[in-house]
Amino acid sequence: MQLQFLGTGAGMPSKQRNTSSLALKLLEERRKIWLFDCGEATQHQILHTTLKPRKIEKIFITHLHGDHIFGLPGLLGSRSFLGGDEKLTIYGPKGLKEWIQLTLKISQTHLNYVMEIIEIEEGIIFEDDSFIVTAKELEHVIPCYGYRVEQKPLPGKLLVEKTSEIGVPKGPLLKRLKDGQDVTLEDGRLIRSADVTTPPISGFTVSILGDTRYCHKSIELSRDAHIVVHEATFDAGTEELAKPYGHSTILEAATVAKEAGAKALIANHISARFLPEAAKALETQGKSIFPDIWIASDFAEFEIKNGTVLERTS
C-alpha cells in the first residue's frame, strides 16, 4: 500500500500546492487505486505520476466544497477516453449524485463504463473479503466525512518445511492450507491449517479525514491507525481563526493523532499563506505534541513496511 498526494493545498491552488486529492495505491492488494477527493486539475497532477485513471476503482469524496470536487467531471470523462471500462463507484455526501449527473448531462459527457454513486451516512460504507471502510461525519461548515480504511488480517505464512515433513504433496492442498483451510490427505490424515502456518498477519489501517475542526469523531476514525491524514490549514496560535471556518491547526491535528494512538500523522490541506520554507516550522510545531509527523507536499508518496511508515522520494 502506498499513499500519493496529488493536491495538498487549501481553498484554491497555488504555485506550490494544487487543490485536494489523494491516491491510495492498492496495486499489490487488488491491482486498483482508490482516490480521495478530486479537486480542480487532479487529472493534470496525475499526468506527472505513474497513476492510470483506468485503474481507479473507487472515489471517496469528503464534502462538496469546490476545492474537493471540481476536478471530478473531467477525470470521469478522461477515464473513458483512456480505456477505463470497469465499474467505478463514487462515495460521498448527499447532493453528490445530483451534481455529477447534472454536470455530465449538460456537458453531454458519455462514459464507457458503469458508474455507481453512493450517498453515504455514518457507518460501514464498504466491506469485502479484504477491506472495511467506515465513514463518520466530522465538524466542518457543510456536511463532511472522514474515512477509515482497514485491511483485514492476511493469512499466515505457510511453513513449507513442516508440510514437507508430514508428507503434504505439492499442489493445490498447499494453497488450501495457506488460505486457512484444513485438508485431508489420501491416507485419511487431517492436516489443520493452524498447525502448518504462522498466525494471521495484521493488515494496515489508514484514516483519511476531510476538512474539520478538532473533534472526537476524528479520534475515533484514527484509533491505532498506521497513518492519519489530517488537515492543518492553520498554525499554532490561530485556533480562534480556524474554528469559524471549520478547520484545524497543526497542533489540533497532532493532538488527534496522539489521542488516537496513531503511529504516524501526515498533515494536509495547508494554507497558501505558508510558503515552502514555512513547512519546517509547521512540522516543528506539530512535533511538540506528536513526534511522528510529516507535512504533505504535492506528489509526496508514503508506504507502510513492516508496520513502519516511510516516505518515498517522488
Q: Which residues are catalytic?
A: 67
DSSP string over 243-278: GGGT--BHHHHHHHHHHHT-S-EEEE-B-TTS-GGG
Q: Residue 65 contacts by C-beta under 8 Å, 6 or more apart in sequence?
A: 142, 211
Contacts of 250 (CB under 8 A, 6+ apart): 232, 234, 235, 236, 267, 282, 285, 286
CA atoms lying within 13 Å on the CB side of residue 233: 22
In whole angstroms, what is the distance from residue 49 CA to residue 301 CA? Answer: 11
* Residue 192, Cβ density class (10 Å: 0-12 exposed, 13-18 middle, ≥19 buried): exposed
Q: Rounded CA gap, 175 and 314, in Å?
A: 37
The three cell numbers of residue 155 are: 493469512
Q: Tell me whether residue 269 is annotated as binding.
A: yes
Q: Check whether 67 is labelled as a binding-site residue.
A: yes
- Supply 146's cell numbers: 472522514
Is-contact 270 235, C-beta < 8 A? no
Q: Using CA atoms, how far apart are residues 267 and 264, in angstroms rounded to an integer?
A: 10
Written as nine digits, the cell of 304 is: 507502510
The verdict on whether residue 128 carries a ligand-binding annotation is: no
* Annotated binding-site ranges: 63, 65, 67-68, 140, 211, 269
* Annotated binding-site ranges for Zn(2+): 63, 65, 67-68, 140, 211, 269
